[in-house]
Structure 1
Amino acid sequence: MAAASSSQDPFELDRLAEELVNREKSRPAVDDDAGHELPIYIPLSHTNPYLTSDVFDVEAFLLSRSHTSLRDLRSELRDYLSTLKEELVKLINDDYEAFISLSTDLRGEGARLGRLKFPLVQLKSQILDSKRQLQVIQDAIQEKLVKRTVLREEKALLHLLLKISESVTRLESLLLIASPVQDDIQKSEMDDDSRPAHLNLVDDSADDRTRGNRAKHLGRVATEYTQLLYHASKARRDNCVFVDEIQWRIDRIRSTLSSDLDHLFSSTLLALTDSRADGKISEVEKAKSIADLTECLRTYDAMGLWRDAEDVLRRDVVRRFVKKSIFPGALNAPPSPIIPHTPFRSSTTPASVASASPLPPRTPYTPFTSFALKTPFQANYGLGSASNSPYAHLLDDSEDPLARMYSQILRFVERDMSKIMGIADKVSLKSLSTGQKEKALTGEKSSDGDGFEIMANVVWEEFGRAIMDELGLVVFAAGRPNEFRKHYETTNAFIRSLEFLAPSVHSVEAMRAHPVYSAFERRWQLPVYFQLRWKEIVSKVEDALSVQRVELSSAKEKHAFVTAQAAAVWVAISACWSAEVFISELSHRFWRLTLQLLSRYKTWLSNSLIPDDRPIPVPADKVGARSATPVDTPSAESVAEDDSILRQYATIILDVRAMHVNILTLWQEEISMILPDAAGEERSNIEDTLRQSLAALTAAALPMSSHIVAILTKRCCDALAPVRSISTQFRAMSNKQMPKEPSYFVASILRPVKVFFGIGVGQGPGAALQEHFLESYATDIFESVAQRYVYHITAMKKTEDSLRRLKKGKKSTFSLFGSSARDDDGKDEERIRAQMILDVEAFGKDGELLGVPLGQSESFRSLTEMVHAVDLPDAP
């Protein structure tokens, strides 16, 4: 039929038609009109985009007419050409009349245009003459304007010079400086008066400026001086010689103003900070002094003399305290507490008034104590607020002379410097908020930056340099690690507490960026300290690990380690992160040392595997390669050696597990908390590294577990020896009854496992491993013993088969796996089978009590099927 169909349809048109129908059916349903649109014929016209484009693209045009043959396309193009020609002729005919009339109208116009040319030349010459005259007038006006501008500028410059002259004279008058004319008079009067004329002027002009209003007076003088500098800079840009001639007077004004300001600032500081004065200032006078101090600082800031103010503060306040507090024997001298400022009645109070209405004594107030530091960046500096400093307890050690000295320094800074630093910081912030002043007017710009930096340039520079110069050999002595660690901790607590007294975060940043701070940090020889600690820690570990045998720990310490080696490693790792040893700047080195200690302990474990040259029984899954020769009874020496191995390996495995748990706990509770802040991915990598080291340590103990399992398997298999004599025992019995209890040796098969884990027999060497290793060890041992059990039964079957072949005349021979003989041998066989079933069941129950999953044991399943076999081989 196939041949006939192929002959009728050689081109397989039917098949192609069917495929076409199926393909059409498989297409998604669409609108018939949209799916079968025929190409629309668009004739050529002027609106065709391909014909009207700037560049005619032949390929694009042909592709747009792809449905048209070349012959038809040629016909269309010829028709379109004829249409264009007709339209062109029509356009010419329509505009021909207008073209002819245009040529007629233009006749004779050339001569007329030529006549118009001559007046234009004359008109051009007149316009040029007028332009020249206007330019001359414009130049004259511009020259006059320039002269007027020069005169105006000279007049303004003269006014400026007058202002400068008047300002200089006024400043000299305000500062009581003798003018050049007065200098000549003073020279002539020197013979009549022994005192300088300057002092005479001071006496003549003694008013409130020399007393309460002196600070405001200097502030106004500083403002005037700033304006003078501004005017002088403008005049100097015009190259005025007058400014150069009076520059010496400007410099004298500056030096006098600076000197007066320094003197007033110094006297105000002494009034506020000098606790040795007999008469104490009243609250009103104290407030007046603080106001004068604020005004002085504003004046310093206005003039850009921040470093001068810091020099006065350093010289009159800080350096005095440094000299009497920080010296080579300061740590051995008895403590001298700083006397707090206690406001009493003013010494100027009249005695009559004081006796008539005595004021009650005020409670002395000490802002700083070693027990409580002030809150950082407080608004009320040194006014007695509660402490939130986390470093106060580190300086609360009356027995430590260094902590005692630091506490005195902090009390001094808070009592005498905090208020000053706060005021200076506020003045600087206010100055910056109103815009930077033109610092170039005062000369060169300060290289130390703009604004007051009292904490960095005065407080820290003086104390830091004094500590390095006077106490450097004691504080930075790295040769005594315990004292060095204590000094380092105490000094860091002092620095952090000092930063808590800073008026702003910017002050702390400036202090840390100061060169003295960098030099102070470099004085700590942290690498030397680490080397000493490394030697101290590693030497103890190496002493413990130098012994290859396991030694029990004798120390009664709070750790879960049995061996002295593990205890030494744990103590070393704990010491790296203890408060008495750890320094945060050395965290990366202590971390590396921790990993090295774990690696060293792993190496010791690998080298401490006790070599055992005695043959250990091969697991019973390979009994086919073993002979049926009975295993020799182990000697007392080998048993004692195996017991020693079990004890040592059990303690090592216990310590490895304890090390794993304790190290992870130490990581979570301490190490991860005190390591420097790191990104999440970096911290994850650090933890992964630790876990890898612990995993390698655990892997080093795996051979010990295998050795323990091998020894216990050997002992359990030795207890199976009586299995081979069950048949002989039952045949020799006189009272042949069906057994009801398992054999005596079954209870001793898994007894070595129980003895090792201390189950029902007291304390075993692996009692501490019972919770984590009993099930896995018992499962492996049970599987191997079950395989050996199968091997013994198989060997016994082979023996019985050999005996059966020797008893050819008997009808029934012993067959363990399926004989229905009814003679005595058959009854013996039934009793032997029943006994073996009882033994195997008891063996399984014993293993199940140890946590062995019997349902997953292939060897025990084979053993059970073997002893329950019903089909016995026929006798030959």
Structure 2
Amino acid sequence: MQDLQSPPPPSPTPSPHPRSTTDLFGDPSDPNPPQWLNPSLFQSQNFDPQSYISDLRTFVPLQTLRTELKTHFTSLQHDLIELINRDYADFVSLSTNLIDVDSSVVRMRAPLLEIREKLGSFRESLIGCLCLLQERLKQRDEAGEAREVLELLLDTFHVVSKVEKLIKELPNCVPSNGGQDDRESRESQSMLLERIASEMNRLKFYISHAKNMPFIENMEKRIMNVSSLLDASLGNCLVDGLENKDVNAIYNCLRAYAAIDNTKNAEETFRLSVVGPLIRKVIPENAASGVVSGSSGNELEEDYVKIKKYIEEDCKFLLDISSIENSGLHVSSFLANSILKEVHSAIQKGKPVVFSPGRPSVFLKNYKASLDFLAHLEGYCPSRAEVVKFRSEAAYVDFMKQWNVGVYFSLRFQEIAGALDSALSVGGLVPVASDKRKPQDLILKQSVSLLECLRSCWRDDVLVLSCSDKFLRLSLQLISRFSSWLSAGLAARKATDNVGSNTGFEWAVSAVPDDLVYIVHDLNRLVEEVCGDYLEHILELLKSCPAEVCDFVKQSILQGGTSLKGHLPIVMSAIIDTIVEKSAEDLRQLKGITATYRMTNKPLPVRHSPYVSGVLRPLKEFLEGERAATCLTNEMRNELLQGAVLEITQRYNDLVSELVSMSRRTESSLQKLRLGAQRRAGASSDVSDHNLSDTDKICMQLFLDIQEYARSLSLLGLDAASLPPYQSLWQCVAPAERQNTISF
């Protein structure tokens, strides 16, 4: 076959449009076929259309191939028509050369019809044979199924008979003197029971494949009898083995229970015969009152200690047997369904009150003791998978449901949050007794209550780790509650115009600066404690949690500390405002200076006014007070001093500027009136430039006052010349020759 990839031989007639070496599909306007279409291959004897198309489709789209083939077909038709038209006479003469065509067709049709009849009869014969063969195959399948069912029924009958025979042999294996320990007889009996159990397992398999058959239904009574006899014999043998701690007999009995998929009976037998009597020694029942007699009240810690001891001495041997590797006994769960179930039942009957969260402290103590007991039981699990299986057992889940930690948290929430609300509802700021307080301790009872409530959330006798997210939220809510109480009180303090509306915030309205100092001190201590030791204690408790959880807790606590610290500037501002208001009362005496020198003949003043010494007295007394000295840091004292002095000096400047401006306006008006009167009287209007006006005297008095004020500031450690309000004050009242130099 010619290579399809090679281009066709060159045409003797050159193409009107030469093709490039990369032109594979050809030009649509080009009448010549593309290079990849070689019509000469169609005339080859071994031409295969499918292989031809499969070779071309790797580099030519099928749509393009279809188009080119249609174009080539159309070209062939045109060539055929042209050829007929050119040799039309020869084409017409073909019919004259065909002689006796009909007779030839008849001769060829006869053998063809004969062959068709033979093929039809042969086909019918084959179809008949095929149907007969299928029918026989179907009968064989039905016979095979019937045989299988018959064999299954026979096997079932034989197994039932065998089990009945083996069960009848059981009494021969029981020791004649049952009160004595006959280990060999007990072992042989357990081995026989294991054999019977394996046969019963086969019987269950057969029955599951032969349901609803009359034969099986007729044998149902016999099957139930052998099953009940086997259960009773297994129970007796297991109890006998448990009483004598016969490891081999117990092992064989447990394997028998596992074989018949009835481990629940084994667990129940162990619970009733061994675990139950032991637990009742620790937690006896009192059906009349439901109260334990001769036990340790309503606490479980001592009871669990005794139970652990009994488990180690009397139950561990069975737990070791059930955990033997490759024994097939892993399907049983004696820890959950025998030991824990019996303990749970004994507590419910003997000490039901321990599950009640009504007494949170006792409830938490018992709950933690129970968790420790469960952890002790998990220690008997040979692998992590067994621990997971133990925790998923219904007995474990039911036991954990008895401990309603949600209700416990609700009670703790009311207790802790109620304690803080009670402390914040007091009408005033209440300091702690000084004889019980250390210098680094909190001062106000409200702050002490907040810190105690925060610590209560994470105390060992309060915290439940499974509810740590709720206790974290409670801690943040306590901080938020204290912050809201503080911010609302300070807001009410500013709204002094409507005191009656400040119900509940009388502490803030009536608080003096010395009281607010206590708040500043406590806020600093709270922030230091919350972001320090308190946070470290929480992270230590949650160290077993993932790192991202600990990071979230840390960020939350730090954010709470930041919210507390954000109130410090507000409290400091409230202290400054109170001090400034007290100083402003002395500054109001400035109005008396105008009355002293207006329309009087008093000489030029030579000393400062008495009120000046009282302007800074409230600030000085506050800073020299015991509370400010002991409760404020040097940095805070300087901040209060700077803020208060700036506010007082600004008030001083505003009052002086207003007084001087008003005095000058008044003097200007009087001067105009005086000049008008002199003109009407005909007197000379010449006024001596050496006479001092009332405004000059007032400004001189104010000048002397601000100098004394500056000296008072220097005693507090401040340079008045560096204060912008004082500079403005100096420019307002200083004589012209001293405007550029501030000295006092």
**219-228 or 114-123, larger mean C-alpha shift:** 219-228
Partners of 1:297 and 1:309 within 8 A in 2: yes
In structure 1, what is the Cα distance between the partners aligned to 2:419 and 2:212? 82
Counterparts of 1:147-296 in structure 2 under 5 Å? 167-168=159-160, 170-177=162-169, 199=172, 210=185, 212-231=187-206, 236=210, 239=213, 241=215, 249-272=222-245, 289-296=246-253
Amino acid at match of 1:859: P
Q: 1:713, CA displacement in angstroms?
A: 2.5
Partners of 1:840 and 1:864 within 8 A in 2: no
Q: 1:557, CA displacement in angstroms?
A: 5.8
Amino acid at match of 2:619: V
Amino acid at match of 2:294: A
1:9 is matched with none
Partners of 2:174 and 2:185 within 8 A in 1: no
Matched, 1:773 2:636: yes
1:302 is matched with 259
Q: Deviations over 1:558-604 (max 9, x none)?
A: 77321223323433343344333344566566566556655654565
Alignment equivalent of 2:304, drawn from 406, 417, 423 = 406
Alignment equivalent of 1:708, drawn from 575, 597, 600 = 575
2:334 is matched with 454
Matched, 1:111 2:113: no
Partners of 2:429 and 2:515 within 8 A in 1: yes
Partner SS state of residue 304, structure 1: coil
| Shift in alpha-carbon separation, 1:797–1:844, aligned structure 2, 3 A | farther
Q: Deviations over 1:755-783 (max 9, x none)?
A: 4234xxx6244642334533432232222
Matched, 1:782 2:645: yes
In structure 2, what is the Cα distance between the partners aligned to 1:832 and 1:139? 136
Q: 1:406, CA displacement in angstroms?
A: 0.7
Matched, 1:578 2:459: yes
In structure 2, what is the Cα distance between the partners aligned to 1:845 and 1:98? 144
Partner SS state of residue 809, structure 1: coil
2:23 is matched with none
Partner SS state of residue 452, structure 1: coil
Partners of 1:460 and 1:511 within 8 A in 2: no
Q: 1:167, CA displacement in angstroms?
A: 4.8
Partner SS state of residue 553, structure 1: coil
2:294 is matched with 333
2:116 is matched with 124
Amino acid at match of 2:279: V
| Shift in alpha-carbon separation, 1:220–1:845, aligned structure 2, 3 A | same
Counterparts of 1:708-787 in structure 2 under 5 Å? 708-714=575-581, 732=606, 750=616, 752-758=618-624, 763-765=626-628, 767-771=630-634, 773-787=636-650
Matched, 1:424 2:381: no
In structure 1, what is the Cα distance between the partners aligned to 2:430 and 2:455? 21
Counterparts of 1:522-671 in structure 2 under 5 Å? 522-524=401-403, 529=408, 533=412, 536-537=415-416, 540-541=419-420, 543-554=422-433, 556=436, 560-584=441-465, 594=475, 597-598=478-479, 601=482, 605=486, 606-607=488-489, 645-665=512-532, 668-670=535-537
Q: 1:753, CA displacement in angstroms?
A: 3.5
Amino acid at match of 1:424: S
Q: 1:403, CA displacement in angstroms?
A: 1.0
In structure 2, what is the Cα distance between the partners aligned to 1:43 and 1:526? 85
Partners of 1:465 and 1:516 within 8 A in 2: no
In structure 1, what is the Cα distance between the partners aligned to 2:445 and 2:105? 129
Amino acid at match of 1:45: D
Partner SS state of residue 461, structure 2: coil
| Shift in alpha-carbon separation, 1:160–1:683, aligned structure 2, 3 A | closer
Amino acid at match of 1:416: D
Matched, 1:858 2:724: yes
Matched, 1:486 2:365: yes
| Shift in alpha-carbon separation, 1:599–1:731, aligned structure 2, 3 A | closer
| Gap regions ≥5 residues in structure 2 | 1-26, 38-74, 177-181, 498-507, 675-685
Amino acid at match of 1:784: E
Q: 1:428, CA displacement in angstroms?
A: 8.0
Amino acid at match of 2:579: L
In structure 2, what is the Cα distance between the partners aligned to 1:208 and 1:548? 83
Partners of 1:646 and 1:765 within 8 A in 2: no
Matched, 1:311 2:303: no
In structure 2, what is the Cα distance between the partners aligned to 1:861 and 1:587? 60
Q: Deviations over 1:300-344 (max 9, x none)?
A: 222212112212212221122123222247966379xxxxxxxxx
Identity percentage of aligned residues:
22
Partners of 1:307 and 1:452 within 8 A in 2: yes
Q: 1:483, CA displacement in angstroms?
A: 2.6
**163-172 or 742-751, larger mean C-alpha shift:** 742-751
Q: 1:516, CA displacement in angstroms?
A: 4.9
Aligned residue pair count: 627
**402-411 or 168-177, larger mean C-alpha shift:** 168-177
Amino acid at match of 1:117: R
Partner SS state of residue 552, structure 1: coil
Partner SS state of residue 468, structure 1: helix
In structure 1, what is the Cα distance between the partners aligned to 2:691 and 2:651? 29
1:45 is matched with 30
In structure 2, what is the Cα distance between the partners aligned to 1:795 and 1:468? 86
Q: RMSD of aligned C-alpha atoms?
A: 5.7
1:342 is matched with none
| Shift in alpha-carbon separation, 1:266–1:648, aligned structure 2, 3 A | same
Matched, 1:468 2:348: yes
Q: Which has the higher helix share?
A: 2
In structure 2, what is the Cα distance between the partners aligned to 1:570 and 1:705? 22
Counterparts of 1:353-392 in structure 2 under 5 Å? none
In structure 2, what is the Cα distance between the partners aligned to 1:541 and 1:429? 60
In structure 2, what is the Cα distance between the partners aligned to 1:845 and 1:104? 149
Q: 1:253, CA displacement in angstroms?
A: 4.5
Q: 1:481, CA displacement in angstroms?
A: 3.6
Q: Deviations over 1:780-837 (max 9, x none)?
A: 22222333454577589777996998994255869999xxxxxxx9xx99x9989977
In structure 2, what is the Cα distance between the partners aligned to 1:94 and 1:426? 104
Counterparts of 1:665-684 in structure 2 under 5 Å? 665=532, 668-670=535-537
In structure 1, what is the Cα distance between the partners aligned to 2:165 and 2:551? 74
1:324 is matched with 281
| Gap regions ≥5 residues in structure 1 | 1-41, 53-82, 179-197, 273-288, 336-398, 433-450, 616-640, 734-741, 818-824
Question: What TM-score comes out, normalization by structure 2 length?
Answer: 0.65
Amino acid at match of 1:462: E
In structure 2, what is the Cα distance between the partners aligned to 1:88 and 1:870? 130
In structure 1, what is the Cα distance between the partners aligned to 2:247 and 2:90? 104
In structure 2, what is the Cα distance between the partners aligned to 1:613 and 1:246? 96
Partners of 1:328 and 1:470 within 8 A in 2: yes
| Shift in alpha-carbon separation, 1:525–1:772, aligned structure 2, 3 A | farther
1:22 is matched with none
In structure 2, what is the Cα distance between the partners aligned to 1:482 and 1:43? 96
